[in-house]
Amino acid sequence: MLLSLANELQEHIYSFQDYHNLTVLMRVNKSLCLLVEPMLYSKVELHPPDYHEYYRYPSETDSIPGEHRNYWTEASVYEGTQGLKECDADVKTHAFMSVFDDSDDGPPRARREALAQHVRLLCLELSLDSSDESVADPLGILASFQNLTHLELTMNWPCQHQIWDKAVQAFLAKSRPPLENLRTLRLRGYVPKEFVQYLL
């Protein structure tokens, strides 16, 4: 029934679905996969549920209305579990970053570049301590999203300073085109100054 509708109507209907439902729809058939994939990758919210609501600036609560965020699950799932939603967010962030990592185990380069072109809005908390050796250049992955218009990045100071230095050296080792479409940038925590200079 839905497949008989125009793509524009299908997109509107699917825009009300959460991440899990979109990933299920992608596996139905190729035409749905082609339609849903850009929707799934265009707005990527990898913060824990209620993150934005918790960190809203007091001045924003009156002047800016609350925006619906398509978190991967409801915050109520984590009630009574201290720290579990942050751990879950770390796992999801690492899985997302692994898709775009330039490694032999990952997807082919053409596929990574095609997926990166879809990413317009990206919100994540990047913990260099929790990223293992399989993601060699986490900052470089962020630079690969050339159509990015909105970036909210939270980074924590790593316990091992060598991890931080390694990530910065890997980022500086290659020439990166600027993110010319970036219009909104929010940084929290400890972000390497070299990466901040690149973003600005």
* Host H or E run for residue 90: helix 84-100
Strand order from edge to edge, sheet including 121-126: 43-45, 121-126, 150-155, 184-189
Structure tokens at 166: 């390694």
Q: What percent of the chain has pLDDT over 70?
A: 66
Looking at residues 34-41, what average pLDDT do you find? 71
CA distances from 33 to 15, 45, 95, 157, 178 (A): 14, 20, 20, 38, 30
**pTM confidence score:** 0.73
Give the domains, in start order, of the chain with CATH numbers: 1-40 (1.20.1280), 46-199 (no CATH)
Q: Is the pLDDT of residue 46 over 90?
A: no
Residue 177 pLDDT: 92
Render 60-81 in DSSP notation, one character per residue.
HHHHS-------SS-GGGGTT-
Q: Is the pLDDT of residue 103 over 90?
A: no
If one compares 9 and 180, the residue with the highest pLDDT of the two is: 180
pLDDT in tens, 59-90: 655 554 555 555 555 555 445 555 556 667 77
Residue 143 pLDDT: 92
Q: How many angstroms separate the first and last alpha carbons of the chain?
A: 47
